[in-house]
Each structure stands twice: as C-alpha cells, then as structure tokens.
Structure 1
C-alpha cells in the first residue's frame, strides 16, 4: 500500500508541474500577442492624400478641427474632380470622408483614412453630375491615431456647384 501511495503522490506532483508549465505558457503567449506589432492598429490610408501647405503658425486649439465647405465647384458630367478634403495638422485622429447628396441620400464618394496635415485633392465620384446645384453633406468620420477607436465626427453641409466645362 505504501508503494501505491508514493506512486499517487508522484503522479499528482507531475500533473501539478505540467499544469503550472501550461498555465505559464498560456500567459507568456497572451502577453506576446498584446505586444506583437502585427496585432496593432494599422490604418487603411488613402493613397490620394498628400501633404498640405501649413498655415502661418497659428495656435492649435484643443480637440478635433473640422474644416468648413460652404460650396464646392466641380465640372459637369465627369467623375474625376478636384476639391480639397483636408484633415488639419494637429488633429488627434484620421478622417474618412463621404460625400452624400442630400436630396437622394446617395453616397457618391467615400475615401479611405486621411492623416492629419494631409488632404485629398483628386476625387473620383461614383458618377458624373449634370450642371446645377446639389445640396450635399460631407460626412467626416474620425478614428484615433493610437488605436483606431471612433472619435467625434461631423456632418458638414455644402452645395456642389456643377458647371459645364
């Protein structure tokens, strides 16, 4: 009996050591995954965004700066248009732009992420527009520079002024 009791103690000891080793391995790999740069946030940056010219060194306000767009003039019946969709320097977030026609709620353009200090100036619309004025909204969605979490965005009302070339 004494021999059997010693074997059981040895078996229990081996099982405990194995459990501790497995638990240690799981904790190690969990920490490695958290520190692995492959699992870090990677923004889907818009390749059309280019650096903007900087202003005259004015003080940077706290929070997110949203540019205004009272009207945007583009050529009629073309999909490749010039405009300036910018994310001001110093913002703590990426911008994603959507242009939505107010009358039909149709999204005619969606960008990828734009870094602070950059702007998209060449936009490809889903389709050309006939000459006229179109009330629209530029929906600006924001994502934190650090982890991509959503921040405050904005809907900027504008008018697309579409002119014959």
Structure 2
C-alpha cells in the first residue's frame, strides 16, 4: 500500500534518505509539541533508520515523496540507543509518519566531547592555583622579623602566651607572632573565655612575622580576665584552604 505525504507550508526541516534519494520536509519535534500540546495525534509508522519491534507483523506499506522515491513504512517500530525520532510528516488529518534517524555517531561525538571537557576541567582544577595563585590579604601590621630563610617544617608551632597586659585604652603590650618555619599562615583571635566575646582578631600573618602591641576592639574595665587565644591556620600555597585550628588559655590584665 502506497502512502503519500501531505505537504505543509510550515514544515520546519528537511530530511533526505541517502541510499534511496527520498526527500521530504517535516515537522520538527518542537513544532509538533506546539501544534499538539496534548499529543492528540496518531503515528501510522516510521521511515528511516527503523528497527521493527519483536512480534510485530510486517505490513507492505511505503511512503512516496514528490519525486517518485519511496521508503518502506514500519508500522511497529522500536527506538534504540543509536536512533531517535527527529520529526513527523503528515499523512492525513492528525495521522503522521515518524522520521527516525541514526544518531549513534552524533551521540558518540557528544559523549567524547563531554568526557574530554570533564577531563580538561579536572586538569584545570588541579593546576588552577599553580597558574593563578589565590590572592590573600596579609595583615598590614604583620612585620616580618625573622629572615633566616628557614624552610617550612611539618609541625605547626603555637606560641605559649599565658599573660597579656593592656592599657585601659585598649592598647596591649603583646608581641603576637607566627613562628619562623611554620608551614601556614596564622589568624589569631582573642576572646573572653566565659562569654566567647571577641576582643581582637588579626588578619593573616606569614610565618616569621609579628604584630606588635595590637589594640583591642573592645574597651574593658581594669581587672584580670580569663581569655582564649584561638589560632586558625591556612595553607601557604594554592587556594590557601583552612588547616587545623588550636586554642590556648591565658589571662588578660587591663591596668
């Protein structure tokens, strides 16, 4: 049985079957979704790279283009991982033939491109901070005091401050240090032990630097206060990610 295509002026794409020379324009899947949002149409069969479903009796149907070329129409067809419906041609009111195309090479190319992109992305992620080191803000008051060019050691040295003195105006008599050879930046926070109230926080301090007599952010009445000195550490290289943290107890004497 010979089926004929109803040509429509608004067909959005063209299809050619290379072996037979069969050529037709067709509705794209996007057009069909707009024309039939409820999917209220019938599919009589499919042409192109079609694989018949199992247990489907083959019928002698063919579809002819306007140039006398024809293709067999498979009434019961299956879509495989290597094929896809790309559009539809109208046979009569609300009855269409699907056009099936082999997309294996295209999908393989997309998969290869995706893998290549992921590989490239992973390679960039690994090397990014070597190419573009992260910018960090060093505390402007952190002065490098040790210049013996000591190579970084594996362990982190934490200074042992037991007593910190300060004037009533908040100026401390404290040499805050990141010991030479430490494999990290320091950020130091001084806070009251009982209330966890922050009294001072430094910026990043390179190893071998010191901040002399930092000023408290909060004024305190004269007296002796129990405090915690918290050390947050950050990598020297790369993204300067946080490392370990530590805290020591001490006393703050405000005179």
TM-score class, shorter: 0.7 to 0.9
2:244 matches 1:148 = no
1:157, 1:16 → 2: CA distance?
A: 63
The alpha carbon displacement at 1:44 in A equals 4.2
174, 179, 198: which one pairs with 1:88? 179
Q: Indicate how the Cα distance of structure 1 residues 84 and 13 shifts in structure 2: closer, same or farther if over 3 A, else same.
A: same
2:236 matches 1:139 = no
2:131 matches 1:70 = no
The alpha carbon displacement at 1:142 in A equals 2.0
More relative contact order, 1 or 2 (CA 8 Å, 6+ apart): 1
Q: Indicate how the Cα distance of structure 1 residues 31 and 127 shifts in structure 2: closer, same or farther if over 3 A, else same.
A: same
Task: Identify unmatched segments of 5+ residues in structure 1.
Answer: none
2:120, 2:174 → 1: CA distance?
A: 50
Larger radius of gyration: 2
Give yes or no for contact 1:63–1:91 (8 Å, CA) kept in 2: yes
TM-score by length of 1: 0.74
Q: Indicate how the Cα distance of structure 1 residues 143 and 92 shifts in structure 2: closer, same or farther if over 3 A, else same.
A: same
Counterpart residue number, 1:160: 252
The alpha carbon displacement at 1:62 in A equals 5.5
Structure with the higher strand share, 1 or 2: 2
The alpha carbon displacement at 1:109 in A equals 0.9
Give yes or no for contact 1:139–1:154 (8 Å, CA) kept in 2: yes
Secondary structure at 1:36 match in 2:
helix
2:110, 2:232 → 1: CA distance?
A: 50
TM-score by length of 2: 0.51
Runs of 4+ off more than 4 Å: 1-5, 38-44
Query: How many aligned residue pairs are there?
Result: 157
Task: Identify unmatched segments of 5+ residues in structure 2.
Answer: 1-16, 21-47, 50-99
Secondary structure at 1:150 match in 2:
strand
The alpha carbon displacement at 1:80 in A equals 4.0
Calculate the aligned-residue CA RMSD, in Å: 3.2
1:104, 1:74 → 2: CA distance?
A: 19
The alpha carbon displacement at 1:43 in A equals 4.2
1:95-131 residue CA offsets vs partner (Å, 9 max, x unmatched): 1111112243311111222111111224232222222
2:199 matches 1:108 = yes
1:72, 1:113 → 2: CA distance?
A: 20
Structure with the higher helix share, 1 or 2: 1
The alpha carbon displacement at 1:31 in A equals 2.1
